[in-house]
Amino acid sequence: MKPSRQKQLVRNVAWVGIMAALVAACGSDKSDSDTTTPTPDAYQVDIRRTTGGVPHIKANDYASAGYGLGYVWAEDHACTMSGRWLTTGAQTAARFGANGPDFPFDLRNGNLASDLYFQKLIDQGWLDQLLADQGPTGILPEVRELVRGYVAGYNRYLKEVDYKLPDERCAGADWIRPITERDLYLNAAFWADMLTAVHNEFSGFLAAVPPGTQKDAVRLSAAQRAALPAPKILASNMVALGKDATRDGTGMVFSNPHWEWNKADGMVAAHLTIPGKLNVNGMTFGASPVIGIGHNDSVGWAATSAGATITNGVRYRLDLVPGSPTSYLVDGKRHEMVPTTVTVQVRGADGKLSPYTHTFYETLFGTVSASTDRPWTAAHAYTWKHSPLKVSGLNMWHLYSQAKTVQDIHAADKATLGVAWINSTAADSQGHAYRSMPNPLPYVTDAMMSDCAIANGILDGSRTQCAPVQDDSAIFPGIFPSDQIPYQFRDDYVYNANDSYWITNLRAPLEGYPSLYGKEKTVLSNRSRGGLEIIEQRLQQTDGLPGKGFTLEQFIGQLFDGRDYARTWLPELVPFCQSLTARADAPAQLPQACAALAGWNGSYLLDDKGAVLFRRFLENSKITPAWYTVPFDANDPLNTPRGLNLSDEVRLALYAAVNDLTRHGIALDASLRGYQHRTVKGERIAVPGGAAFLRMNTGPFQGQDGWEAISGSSFIYWVEMTPQGPRGKQIQVQGQSDDANSPLNTEQTRLFRDGKYLDIRFTEAEIQADPKLTVKTLKAQADGTF
Cα–Cα dist 704/707, whole Å: 9
Q: Please name the residue ranges forming H helices in 463-603.
A: 526-539, 552-559, 570-580, 590-599
H or E stretch at 199: helix 199-200
What is residue 711's three-state secondary structure?
strand
200, 105 contact by CB (below 8 A): no
Which of 28, 64, 82, 236 is catalytic? The answer is: 236
Closest CA to 517 of 532, 502, 495, 531: 502
602-632 as b/e: b if 16+ CB within 10 A: bbbbbebbbbbbbbbbbbbbeeeeebbeeee
Taking CA atoms, 118 is separated from 88, 95, 195, 377, in Å, by: 6, 15, 13, 26
Q: In whole angstroms, what is the distance from residue 746 CA to residue 676 CA?
A: 16
Strands (E) in 420-468, as ranges, are 422-428, 433-436, 453-455, 458-460
* 3-class DSSP state of 441: coil
Q: Check residue 192 and report its DSSP letter.
A: I
DSSP state of 442: B
- Give burial (CB, 10 Å; 0-12/13-18/19+) of 649: middle
User: Bridge-partner residues for 339, per DSSP?
Assistant: 361
Q: Which amino acid is at 515?
A: S
Report the alpha-carbon distance of residue 121 to residue 125 in Å, rounded. Answer: 6
Cβ contacts of 347 within 8 Å, gap of 6 or more: 93, 94, 95, 96, 97, 353
For 234, other C-beta atoms within 10 Å of its C-beta total 20
Rounded Cα distance between 43 and 155, Å, is 13
User: Are 18 and 411 spatial neighbours (Cβ–Cβ below 8 Å)?
Assistant: yes
The upper half-sphere exposure of residue 268, i.e. CA atoms within 13 Å in the direction of its Cβ, equals 33
C-alpha distances out from residue 535 to 387, 507, 543, 714, Å = 34, 12, 10, 22
344 beta partners: 356
Distance CA(233)–CA(265), nearest Å, equals 12
Start-end of H helices in 628-730: 648-663
Whether 714 contacts 258, CB under 8 Å: yes
Q: Is the distance from CB of 594 to CB of 657 less than 8 angstroms?
A: no
Kindly tell me the sign of the dihedral angle through the C-alpha atoms of 503, 309, 107, 153. Answer: negative
Contact present, 643 and 625 (Cβ < 8 Å): no
Query: Who contacts 762 (Cβ-Cβ below 8 Å, separation ≥6)?
Result: 271, 279, 281, 297, 725, 726, 727
User: Angle at CA 94, nearest 5°, toward 93 and 95?
Assistant: 90
CA dist., res. 716 & res. 769, Å (int): 22
Q: Identify whether 236 is a catalytic site residue.
A: yes
Active site residues: 236
